[in-house]
Structure 1
Amino acid sequence: MNPYVKQPGATVMVVDDVPASRYAMGAVLRRAGHDVVPVASAGEALIELDVRLRAGALPDVALVDVGLPDMSGFELCRRVKARPSTAALPVVHFSATAIEAGDRCRGLDAGADAYLTVPAEPKEIQAVVQAAVRRARRRTATEALAHWLTLLSEAIVTVQTARCLGELADAAAAGASRLMGMPAVVFVIGPDGEAHHGTSRNRLALSDADAYQEAARLITRIAGGRGGVHSTVVPAALWPTGLFRPGAQDDAHLVLASAQEGRARVCIATPARAAPPRSGAGPCRHAAAPRGASGHDEPADARRHDVALPVAALPAERLAQATALAAEPLLMYQEERNVALTLQHSFLPLPHRLPDVPGVDLVVRYVPASRQAEIGGDFYAALRTRGGVLTAVGDVVGHSLDAATVMVEIRHALRAYCVEESGPGALAERLDRMLLHYHPEVTATVCLALVDPGSGRVRIANAGHIPPVIVRDGGGAEYVPVDGPLLGLGLDRPGPSELVLGPGDRLLMVTDGLIETRGVDLGTSMEQLRTAAADAPAGLDALCDTLLGRFGCDQEDDIAMLALRLG
């Protein structure tokens, strides 16, 4: 409500114990278009305020006679101003006898907004009442705006820290619900039409996925190719049933926004029955029926309201705009992540494509990080060489498409090098030199193991990686004591370690994504892994599945595993 525009008639409570005076004051106010609530005492005034407070209909101003019989008008004012629920109510004192400057000062000290000496001219009474109401409404509007801006800033901070599009939609829905005081559903729609939705906590989740898809299609059609921020009201007949309240049909008030690049489109949807009024320069303009993305006219019942984003724009529109801006980098990251995953899945051999070596059983697992985490450069390899089966598990340091690309190069280099050289120590040195030459800013970890199926002899070289675990057939498990510097540092490397695998022994190689947890010492996690491996059921698949079930849920990094056993 604009406090600078002349307001319609107010509700005025007149507190005076003299019936004739109360009638006269009421008559003046009624002629000015105000509603009057006559009250004969301070106690009756407090009771009337309580009743109206419960009904949500407090008067706009109270005119209080100073000389009330049960309590002075000054004390009544103090009590009204001391209660948080009525503190904002403007109080105007009046008196025909207490007319000295000290009386007026006493009234103002009690918290009154003005002081009238009666009898007074009707125009003066009307002007004082209007001024008190105007100041109160301006103060209320300012406090509401400050409250909205506080909620808006909190919502935007939460939105900007979202790690994925689903989390972004949930954060925006929660913020919109707090801002607007009603259930909210938020849609984030990518350029390919894929929609992510989030709901506020004060609505029951709708299990019907088709309803969300139907709403997303409708939003895309309404938005068309328009950029910026605009709003529209969709009648209940066109909006999916139950999206705001289970089983209920509601008109939907939509606030749509897209970033400058136009990649992400955001829609904040709330029930239109209580759509908040616009706080800006004048009413919304009603545009002609818009055209959808297909070029066909939208239904005439979809009423669009163009928004020019005035200085004091509705907070929901600001939130929609901030959500659209926050969605842009998440969409770009999602595309990059999909490319990286495609690279990894393309170049990591599927289980049925692992080398078939008589006397050797191999099992591999690869689990990408949870959707909100970045993709990394984890890999495994199993290659047949002249010296036996060469197995490798490694991780390029970093989380990006670049890390996945370097991972592919390392795997290709390893495949090429092992044609002539199968020794794990020599291969680690060559990979180290390759990284230094082509990617001097990149480091990687890798563990290489060359297994001779005939003798069971295993030679292992380690470059900054978690050492492999030997799970003995007779029970127990231990790490192989082998270490060395990361690839890409150009440092001297110790010679490989050697051991012999007995029949039934299992060699387990993993990346740190399996066990690394923020805030937990890696040594503690490694010991937990060793214990779990020792207690795992027999078999390679059982070993890998047991460890993934124990450690691999919602990890923030990729997981690569390779398990080997001599047949």
Structure 2
Amino acid sequence: MDANGRQTDSTVMVVDDVPTSRYAMGAVLRRAGHSVVPVASAGEALVELDVLLRAGSLPDVALVDVGLPDMSGFELCRRLKSQPPTAALPVVHFSAAALAPGDRCQGLDAGGDAYLSVPAEPEEIQAVVRAAVRGARLRTGAEALARRLTLLSETIVAVQAARCPTELAHAAAQGTARLTGDFAAVFVLGEDGELYPGLSRRRARTSLPGPGAHEAVARLIRGTTAGHAGVRSIVVPAPLWPAGFLRPGVSEDARVVLAQTQEGKPAVCLATPAHARAQETGALVARLAQATALAAEPLLMYQVERHVALTLQHSFLPQKPADLPGMEVAVRYVPASRQTEIGGDFYATLRTSRGVLTGVGDVVGHSLDAATVMVEIRHALRAYCVEDPDPAVLVTRLDRMLQHYHPEATATVCLALVDPDSGHVSIANAGHIPPLIVHDDGTARYPGAAGPLLGLGLERPPATEEFLTPRHRLLMVTDGLIETRGTDLSVSMEQLRMAAADGPSGVGALCDALLDCFGRDREDDIALLALRLG
């Protein structure tokens, strides 16, 4: 503090080739409480600044004599302002010689912040230095705030792009760590009590706390948010905050920001070490917590819908088909990865009066509605095939059913009626990938079975007739197995044909081999059905 109570914790570099003048200027500044770094030339100033940069402590302002022996003070200022590490350093020119207004303008044009004529009263020197330091700190503060706001907006974009609660928690944790410059942990607590944790990347992934610590955090969130919607910031003492979430094996106080849009909705907890820069970043972390809570609601609601749709599909798609005399059948169903929506894929194996009706299909769309329509199509197929199992008749009736009850829905389906005794196969295709006939000699081909989607009411071609022997396998799949964004479906179908031709002879082994080849981390459901005459 100076005599008037002003803060003077700044460092001033004085660049002057005249020792007495340099000493006098330094004395005035030291009396005001400044630290002084005296240098005698521009070259010496550049060397000293390089040393200070390496130590991470630039001066707060540089007082530069205009008439230096090795280069002018204007040129030194221009060099400092052209280098990013020193560009923000305030420069005040001074001169004991009278200068024309044009010369003073030259100093300002070179990037100088002020001009001082010496000799000057100590109060004037001190006021000019204070003004330069104050302006620099305001600029630095504004730039830091702008950087943090940019980080906040980038994090909110990442949070809103999250595809599941765990991904959301990790995105928020990484953003919190960037905002605070410290370790961060984020927890999303669903309405059903399930806790989704996320850690910043700086946090080691080893030695994470166990289930008891997670339950302790869940209790803390529930107790703190009960009856309190909105955003709250509190410090949780180390005994109440489980050790290891912020730093491996370390027990420490945690500053937690909790957000809940309204009571009973998902709650979000953003945690950092209590010593983190709360005064500088507290408001921004609170905004991030609020944005994370808003993003958590639809994600968790989707999790519930996805679980219902998946349960519905599993309940109507038996993992093991019924025993079919004279035929070996294998079926597989793989839901889409957890980050994507459940679709309406299905398969069916039904005994009829004229053989075994097999089929695979896919309701267009990904939602609980698609899964519900799938169930209706499967039930309708079971009912219709009792009266007439002809595949061409069945796809026509399914088409009319969709138009009547679900005019907004469309679906693809491929049906094959197989006579185990004769090997005769009748195939009707409605916009689906045709079945693949795989021979034990290492060849495979697609029959020419095609037709429009269900739900469009378009005229349909007659069924395609084929014959199977015990050396053949009939493979039926949904497009989730092979369809890849950016790749033409015909290319993917050819890849499937070649892989199936080289596949194992057993129907179950063939399905598993194709799933291993094509079915990892797919964005759509997968249904497969393979059969061989016994």
Fold shared per TM-score above 0.5:
yes
Contact 2:208/2:248 (<8 A) preserved: no
Contact 1:349/1:381 (<8 A) preserved: no
What's the CA shift for 1:499?
A: 2.1
Aligned to 2:357: 390
SS at match of 1:563: strand
Residue identity opposite 1:93 in structure 2: H
Cα 1:359–1:229 shift into 2, 3 Å? same
Show the 5 A alignment for 1:365-514.
Answer: 365-514=332-481
Aligned to 1:10: 10
Aligned to 2:221: 220
1:466-491 per-position Cα deviation (integer Å, ceiling 9, x unaligned): 11112224442222221111111111
Contact 2:208/2:245 (<8 A) preserved: no
Residue identity opposite 2:467 in structure 1: V
What's the CA shift for 1:247?
A: 4.2
Contact 1:250/1:273 (<8 A) preserved: no
Distance in 1 of aligned mates of 2:461 and 2:56: 80
Show the 5 A alignment for 1:476-555.
Answer: 476-555=443-522
SS at match of 1:410: helix
Residue identity opposite 2:118 in structure 1: V
Contact 1:258/1:264 (<8 A) preserved: yes
Equivalent residue in structure 1 for 2:271, among 269, 272, 279: 269
Cα 1:158–1:388 shift into 2, 3 Å? same
RMSD: 2.5
Aligned to 1:43: 43
Distance in 2 of aligned mates of 1:220 and 1:553: 36
What's the CA shift for 1:515?
A: 0.8
Aligned to 2:21: 21
1:520-557 per-position Cα deviation (integer Å, ceiling 9, x unaligned): 11111111111111111121110110111111111111
2:325 is the counterpart of 1:358 = yes
Contact 1:169/1:188 (<8 A) preserved: yes
What's the CA shift for 1:144?
A: 1.3
1:324-383 per-position Cα deviation (integer Å, ceiling 9, x unaligned): 2222221121111111111111122231xx332322222111100011111100011112
Residue identity opposite 1:321 in structure 2: Q
Aligned to 2:82: 82
Cα 1:361–1:81 shift into 2, 3 Å? same
Distance in 2 of aligned mates of 1:276 and 1:220: 20
SS at match of 2:12: strand
Aligned to 2:286: 317
Residue identity opposite 1:275 in structure 2: R
Equivalent residue in structure 2 for 1:341, among 310, 317, 324: 310
SS at match of 1:277: helix
Cα 1:452–1:106 shift into 2, 3 Å? closer
Contact 2:254/2:272 (<8 A) preserved: yes
Residue identity opposite 1:107 in structure 2: G
Identity %: 71
SS at match of 1:465: coil
SS at match of 1:516: coil
Distance in 2 of aligned mates of 1:455 and 1:220: 67
What's the CA shift for 1:236?
A: 4.3
SS at match of 1:370: coil
Contact 2:225/2:258 (<8 A) preserved: no
Aligned to 1:563: 530
Distance in 2 of aligned mates of 1:204 and 1:69: 55
SS at match of 2:126: helix
Residue identity opposite 1:392 in structure 2: G
Aligned to 2:236: 234
SS at match of 1:419: helix
Contact 2:181/2:276 (<8 A) preserved: no
Aligned to 1:332: 301
1:238-274 per-position Cα deviation (integer Å, ceiling 9, x unaligned): 4444434444444433333333576332333333444
SS at match of 2:279: coil
1:132-184 per-position Cα deviation (integer Å, ceiling 9, x unaligned): 11111111111112222222222222222222222223333333333333333
Unaligned runs of 5+ in 1: 280-306, 308-312
Answer with 419-428 or 154-163: which moved more: 154-163
Contact 1:9/1:32 (<8 A) preserved: no
Residue identity opposite 1:329 in structure 2: P
Aligned to 1:295: none
Cα 1:410–1:155 shift into 2, 3 Å? same
Distance in 1 of aligned mates of 2:80 and 2:127: 23
What's the CA shift for 1:120?
A: 2.0
After TM superposition, the score normalised by the length of structure 1 is 0.86
SS at match of 1:107: helix
Distance in 1 of aligned mates of 2:18 and 2:500: 92
What's the CA shift for 1:209?
A: 5.8
What's the CA shift for 1:510?
A: 1.0
Contact 1:186/1:267 (<8 A) preserved: yes
Distance in 2 of aligned mates of 1:183 and 1:441: 50
Distance in 2 of aligned mates of 1:440 and 1:270: 53
Distance in 2 of aligned mates of 1:83 and 1:515: 55
Distance in 2 of aligned mates of 1:320 and 1:241: 22
Distance in 1 of aligned mates of 2:416 and 2:7: 84
1:427-466 per-position Cα deviation (integer Å, ceiling 9, x unaligned): 1111111111111111111111222222222222111111
1:279-337 per-position Cα deviation (integer Å, ceiling 9, x unaligned): 6xxxxxxxxxxxxxxxxxxxxxxxxxxx7xxxxx32x3333322222222211211111
Cα 1:473–1:100 shift into 2, 3 Å? closer
Distance in 2 of aligned mates of 1:504 and 1:250: 69
After TM superposition, the score normalised by the length of structure 2 is 0.92
Residue identity opposite 2:456 in structure 1: L
Distance in 2 of aligned mates of 1:100 and 1:506: 98
Cα 1:209–1:241 shift into 2, 3 Å? closer
Aligned to 1:297: none
Distance in 2 of aligned mates of 1:247 and 1:13: 45
Contact 1:473/1:504 (<8 A) preserved: yes
Contact 2:511/2:530 (<8 A) preserved: yes
Contact 1:253/1:270 (<8 A) preserved: yes
Distance in 1 of aligned mates of 2:102 and 2:433: 85
2:260 is the counterpart of 1:258 = yes
Cα 1:214–1:73 shift into 2, 3 Å? farther
1:178-229 per-position Cα deviation (integer Å, ceiling 9, x unaligned): 3333333332222222222333333332353617725742652464223322
1:40-89 per-position Cα deviation (integer Å, ceiling 9, x unaligned): 44333333322222222222112223333444333332232222211111
Distance in 2 of aligned mates of 1:234 and 1:54: 38
Distance in 2 of aligned mates of 1:77 and 1:546: 71
Residue identity opposite 1:43 in structure 2: G
Aligned to 2:60: 60
